[in-house]
Amino acid sequence: MMNYSSGPPETESRTLPTPAVRAEGLTVVRGPRTVLRGLDFTVPRGQITGLLGPSGCGKSTLMRAIVGTQAKVTGTLDVLGLSAGHPTLRTRIGYVTQAPSVYDDLTVRQNLDYFAAILTLGRAASARRTDIDRVLADVDLTTHADSLAGNLSGGQRSRVSLAVALLGTPELLILDEPTVGLDPVLRRDLWNLFHDIAASRGATLLISSHVMDEAERCHRLLLMREGEILADDTPDALRTRTGSETVEAAFLHLVDEAAAAGRRKETAR
């Protein structure tokens, strides 16, 4: 079983003053529904934190709140020591949504140049080119730089989206289900890339997934269900605490535990 719970990122997080994300009583209302209910958690710096839970539990909503694009957010939500949505966070956070934001009729390099120009208005083309060459190498797409995005495979398109997010050398990367629909080899390659990014530049990655086996690849986990955090721990600690072989079994154990606690509360009324 993979174990990413020890090593340099842990050491780094202990020496840095503030967590990458700190939430207290975080609540989000969407339409008539309270989608996130009073969440308390932190995301440590320099590590990969997996945000896992079933479809519809509120992962994307939480990510949007952290990035600052979600309305009706109450409670405390600090990101890199500032209030979520603070204008100076714009270049310090990279965000990849579920739908790859790539223009099919542009080449990979043209896509990156377009987003680089938006990110820092008025920047010289030669400076943009340096950044573009760097992120192309980061995601291993240098040889596809002049291919039309529309002709790329699903995994390659995901890597173009990731390259866009890496343009500003972000301290915090928020990746919403980046491996969905990819084959096992591409998924493994992308996870290796995420670990490279965390290790080589000390970046913090918050990665959502509803595939529980991806949990084993994270340093820490936030397990969510129905708008609440069920657990905030390392994969090892979760397995040990619940006496489970896998994070999936630990998750199911916690779901049963929460349901039993709910029933006890009802009976006591």
Residues that bind ligand ATP (CB under 6 A): 30-31, 33, 35, 53, 55-61, 210
Nearest residue (CB) to ligand ATP, 145 versus 182: 182
- Closest distance to ligand ATP from the beta carbon of 157 (Å): 18
- Closest distance to ligand ATP from the beta carbon of 175 (Å): 12
- Closest distance to ligand ATP from the beta carbon of 58 (Å): 4
Nearest residue (CB) to ligand ATP, 33 versus 201: 33
Nearest residue (CB) to ligand ATP, 57 versus 174: 57
Residue ranges of E strands in 89-227? 93-96, 172-175, 204-209, 220-225
> For 7-32, b where at least 16 C-beta lie within 10 A, e where not — what string?
eebbebbeeeeebbbbbeebbbbeee
Instruction: Say how far apart CA 131 and CA 186 lie, in whole Å.
Output: 24
- Closest distance to ligand ATP from the beta carbon of 210 (Å): 5
Nearest residue (CB) to ligand ATP, 135 versus 222: 222
Any idea which residue has 């600690």 for tokens? Answer: 237
- Closest distance to ligand ATP from the beta carbon of 113 (Å): 30
Nearest residue (CB) to ligand ATP, 55 versus 143: 55
CB-based contacts of 253, cutoff 8 Å, min separation 6: 242, 243, 244
DSSP string, 47-94: SEEEEE--TTSSHHHHHHHHHT--SSEEEEEEETTEETT-GGGTTTEE
